[in-house]
Structures are given as structure tokens and as C-alpha cells.
Structure 1
Amino acid sequence: MAYQMQRSHQFLSRFFLIAAALALTACESVQTTQGGAVGITRQQSMMLSAQEVDASAVKEYAQVLDEQKKKGALNQNAAQVRRVRAIADRLIPQTAAFRPDAVKWKWEVNIITSPEANAWCMPGGKIAVYTGLIEKLKITDDELAAVMGHEIAHALREHARERASEQAVTGSLISIGSSILGVGELGKQGAQYAYMGLVGLPNSRTHETEADRIGVELAARAGYDPRAAISLWQKMAQIGGSEPMKFMSTHPSREDRISDLTVYSQRVMPLYEQSKKTR
């Protein structure tokens, strides 16, 4: 039985790798951003167009804002709104270092009243910051710039489009391949788990690392201390619970993240020092 299970796992791994290789041939290879001082040069495979992803984001963002407005949870604290938008106004022009077209996106920045310590940026520059992030962490402007820079970086790199493209192509191939090879629902489910373990989760961790690195550069160029990203994650560790095992997490471990941010915040310190001189 153990031998059969091992052979099954080997088959599923081989099947997934073949499917993944076929999926890559169906996608367009693109470089969404310039490398910047942090040197992001990874090519990305895209199946979906930027236009359709951006259009979906516009609709979803409008729906989120409408729901929050009905609950009385949208932009309730004027001082917080001014503060967050002022930081965004300094960060957004710096996106030109990675992709000049982003400066002309239809950016929106809104505050959602929620105890959750969270923020996000949808494709095309649709940003939301939760009051829990500001209040629970007693967040400084430098730390808030680190968070917002990180989320903006996801949009610049079009990580949502990349994940959606990957899932669309690989999901179709797994379904077709499972039927052709007769592995049934159990085999199909195993292939999906293999996909998540071998590519899905590691790619998501790659996205997080890229966003961390671009985020500190955006903050530094905007005149915010990039080292604040380190204190930010130290605060997050204090309010957060236990972490999942590293190999099963969509995010890098806190230790790995802080270590990487320490290196890359130092790399962009000259940009920060230069920005301070011109302000």
C-alpha cells in the first residue's frame, strides 16, 4: 500500500509538471515592470488580458465601496482619510520608476472602518486601508508608507492577473488530463494539491517578496524611511497569532521576511537620503 501511494504521488507530480509546462506555452511571457534599484527582473506568464482584469477590479472595488458605505464604514474619520491619501499622493508618482504608465492610472484611496489590520490594492490602483491597521499598530507614516508601497507593488507587478492566468490554464489542463488519463476525482484532487504545493504557494510567496522589495523602494523614493518596513512586521508579529508551516504558507515566514527587508531597505537607503534633500 505504501509503495502504491508513493507511485501515485510520483505520477501526480509528473502529471502536474507536464500540465504546468503545457500551460506556460499557452501564456504570453511579459515583464510588467522595470527592475528598479531592487532588481525585480522575473518574467511572468499571462493568459488573461490586463484590460479584462482591470475591468473586473473596477466593478469589484465599486461594489466594496457601496457595501461599506451602506454599513456606515466608509471614510468615517476625515483625519485618517487625509493622512492616508497624503501618503498615497507621495507614493504614486514614484511608481514611474517601475512602470511609467502607472502614474496615469485612475487611482482611488479609501478607508474602511474594520478591526482587521489590513490593506490592499486592486489592479489599476484601487486602494483600501482598514482602520484596524492604523489603530492596532499605532502605525507611523513611514510604516504606513511601507504597507501601501507593498500593496501598490502587487498592482504594478499585476500579481492578481498572473495568479488568475495560472489558475485558469492549469485548472483546465488538470480537468482535461484527469479525464484522458482516467485518474478520476481522487486523482484530479491529488493533482490540484500537487499544483498548490509545488507551484501555487511558492509563487504566492514570490509575489509577496517582490512586493516587499518594490514597496521599500517606493517608500524610499517618496521620502519615507524604508527601514520602517522592519518595525512594521515586528509589530505585526506582536498582534498576530501562530504561523502556518513555512512550506504551506502563501507568505514568507516572519523571520525570512524581516531578514529580506533588512537587506533591501539598506539597498534603497541612498534613494531615501536623496529624497530627504529635495523635500
Structure 2
Amino acid sequence: MRLPFLRHLVFMLFLILLAGCEETPTGRSQLALVPEHLMGQMGEDAFDQMRRHQPVSNDAAINQRVQCVAQAIVTAAEASYPAVSLPSVWEVVVFDDSSPNAFALPGGRIGVHTGLLRVAETPAQLAAVIGHEVGHVLAEHGNERLTQQLGIKAVLLLVGFFGEGDLGHQQLMQALGLGAQLGISLPFSRTHEEEADLMGLAIMARAGFDPQQSVALWRNMAAVGGGQPPEFLSTHPAHGSRIEALQQAMEEAMSTYRTVTPATCSW
């Protein structure tokens, strides 16, 4: 008797959430319910914690390279998406870490690992990464992911509460958990990555970096990254899928690139 009720309850929750949907800068429907100031505070706290526990690079040349590219990307992001509310000040820190990684957090924090500079061989390739990470912030992907996770936990809690004692309850909870992971969490992560790729491509082109270098970057990443899990079980698109999507959007990005002054960041 309880399962039909649960189905109606979950469906009603879905309709309520759907009614609150907004759109990302690319026009994709999105549900991001965490207050912006709270996301900014969480980003600031996380960044401060990283600085306390990870060494920061003091190499002046590396810092100059990263700062130049990051500032150009932030300026271009503001010009590319003027309707999006952006932090007035961005803090950029280079971490002495051998992994080829970078990130941007709500509230205007950008972190770049020194290891990334061994994979991003040109300023434009670094711009592709930073543009991608800033794209995540502009599209509020962190907010959307947090909202999704809170929603999944809430639904599972309701199922656990109302379904307790039913035959097969434990199997039902396990199936719902697996379904949420494969059907919601992972696909949405890939959607975020693909959206950030395309936003980053537009931003780097507006900043005066050759967008074709984004393809070169991901080929470099594929060369050092080794094998990837099957795409349907991965939070990131396969390198080949990523490159194909970038190439499909390249003509528009190149049109923008031809209209701006090339970036002058040295390497």
C-alpha cells in the first residue's frame, strides 16, 4: 500500500523542483537552490583550507604566466556573459602540486597546480583549462550539484521512512541509490563538463587565445591520463567525445577570435 503513495510523493517532489528551474548561460534548464552568498562562503572556506594544507608556488615566472592568463579569462568571461553576476575580485593562487589540475570556486577563487603547466604547453592551452573552470562557476554547477545531492538524500530518506518494514525494503533502497547515482549524479556531471568546455571555448576566444589550442590541450591530457572508465560510468566525458564536441563548436569560436586582439601573455 505504501509504494503507490511513495510514487506519488516522488512525482510531486519532481514537479515542485521542476517548477523552480532556471537556465544556465547556455540556456540549459537548471535547478540551483543554494543561496549565492552561502556558495561564496563555502568557496572561500574551501580555498582557505587548501592554502593552509597545500604548498603555494613561489616561482615568480610561473605565477606571472598564470596571473596573466587568468586575468584575461576573467575579463573575457564578463564580456561573454554580461547577464551573469560575477565576483568583483578574483583571487588566483598557484599550488605546488605535480598533478595536472586547476579549479575555480564560487566567490572568485582560482587555483592552478604547477603540474598543469607541464601539460598545457602554451598560454592558450592554459586559457582553455581556466576558461573551463570559470565556466563551471558562471553556470553555477557547484550549486546545481549540491542541490541534486540534497534532493537525492531527501527522497531516499522519505523512502526509508515510509517504506520501513516492507518486503524487499533493503533491496529497494539499494536500487534507488544505484539508480540515483547512474541516472542523475553521473550524467549531470558529464553535462556540466560538456557545458563548461563550450563556455570555456567561447571565453578563451573572446580573451584572444586561439581556441584550436583547446583540442591540442585535451590531446595532451589524453596522452598523460592513461585509461578512462567507460563513459557511462564516468563523471567526465571521454577525451575523444570532448574533442569532438569542441571541434563542432570551433567555427563559431574562431569567428570570435578573429575579431579580437590576440592575447599577449608570454610563456
- In the alignment, which residue of structure 1 is the partner of 2:22? 30
Amino acid in the other structure paired with 1:46:
A
Structure 1 ranges of 4+ moved more than 6 A: 15-18
Q: Secondary structure at the match of 1:232?
A: helix
TM-score (norm 2): 0.88
* Cα gap change, 1:100 to 1:259, in 2 (>3 Å): same
Is structure 2 residue 208 aligned with structure 1 residue 223? yes
Work out whether residues 127 and 204 of structure 2, in 8 Å CA contact, stay in contact via their aligned partners in 1: yes
1:175 shift after superposition: 1.4
For the pair 1:242 / 2:230, whether they are aligned, the reply is no
Deviation larger for 151-160 or 187-196: 187-196
Structure 2 unpaired stretches of 5+: none
Equivalent position amino acid for 1:113 in 2: D
1:52 to 35, 38, 41: 38
2:241 maps to which of 244, 256, 259: 256
User: Aligned partners of 1:218, 1:141: CA distance in 2, in Å?
Assistant: 14
Aligned pairs for 1:1-279 (under 5 A) are 19=10, 22-23=13-14, 25-26=16-17, 28-33=20-25, 40-68=26-54, 73-96=55-78, 97-100=80-83, 102-135=85-118, 137=119, 139-182=121-164, 184-276=169-261
CA distance in 1, matches of 2:130, 2:11: 33
Residue identity opposite 2:46 in structure 1:
E
Contact persistence 2:132–2:199 (CA under 8 A): yes
Q: 1:119 to 1:277 in 2, by over 3 A?
A: closer
Q: Is the 1:54–1:123 contact (alpha carbons within 8 Å) kept by the matching residues of 2?
A: yes
Q: Please provide the CA RMSD for this pair.
A: 2.3
SS at match of 1:170: helix
Paired residues of 2:31 and 2:144 also in contact (CA < 8 A): yes
**CA deviation map 1:83-117 (0-9, x unaligned):** 11111111111222224454543311110111101
Structure 1: gaps of 5 or more residues: 1-10, 34-39
Cα 1:79–1:102 shift into 2, 3 Å: farther
Change (3 A) 1:173 1:82: same
In structure 1, distance between residues paired with 2:120 and 2:136: 24
Q: Alpha-carbon deviation of 1:153?
A: 0.2
Change (3 A) 1:20 1:121: farther
Count of aligned pairs: 255
Compute the displacement of 1:17 (Å).
10
Task: After TM superposition, give the deviation of residue 49 of structure 1 in Å.
Answer: 1.4
Measured at CA, do residues 277 and 92 of structure 1 come closer, stay the same or move farther in structure 2, by a change above 3 Å?
closer
- Cα deviation code 1:172-224 (max 9, x no counterpart): 11111133123534422321110111111111111000000000110000000
Cα separation, partners in 2 of 1:138 and 1:56, compared to 1, 3 Å: closer
Deviation at 1:238, TM superposition (A): 0.6
Q: Which amino acid aligns with 2:44?
A: V
Identity of aligned residues (%): 29
CA offset digits 1:23-48 (Å, max 9, x no partner): 46147322243xxxxxx110211222
